[in-house]
Amino acid sequence: MKVSENTSVAMPIKNMIGIVIAVAMGIFAYTELTSRLTSLETSRELFSSDLLKKSEQVPTDQEQFMLLEHMASQIEELESEMQGMRNNTVNLNRAMKDIEDMKATIENMKDKIRNNGSHP
């Protein structure tokens, strides 16, 4: 059998379209697979570098960070308590002023009652 430029191959068009589609699907699957592998390798590298960074921390540092976070939450609670206490201080000052006014009024009333009893 001699094969040259002029050798013709007879193939049904249906088979040729099937081959072209199969090749296109193979190329698409290959690019998707390589893309997924690249993505997984990148995430693995990032994960391992994060683990290395965390392993470099001394346990004392980690304990200090935990203590700082705990103290920060306590400070926030204290600040909210102080906000409430500020309102209480204003209310107490107003109440003390009202009590002083009431004392003065009561003393005036006592004086009037005493004066009424002493005049026949």
pLDDT band at 18 (very low <50, low <70, confident <90, very high): very high
Q: What is the pLDDT of residue 35?
A: 94
Work out the average pLDDT over 47-61.
73
Q: What is the pLDDT of residue 23?
A: 96
Mean pLDDT of the chain: 85
> Is 1's pLDDT higher than 70?
no
End-to-end CA distance of the chain: 155
The three-point CA angle 108-111-114 to 5° equals 150
pLDDT band at 48 (very low <50, low <70, confident <90, very high): confident
Longest dimension (CA), the chain: 155
> Is 92's pLDDT higher than 90?
no
Look up residue 4 and give its amino acid: S
> Is 86's pLDDT higher than 80?
no
CA distance 7 to 77: 90
Top-confidence residue, 104 or 53: 104
pLDDT band at 57 (very low <50, low <70, confident <90, very high): low
What global pTM score does this model have? 0.36
Look up residue 61 and give its amino acid: D
Q: What is the pLDDT of residue 83?
A: 81
CA distance 20 to 33: 20
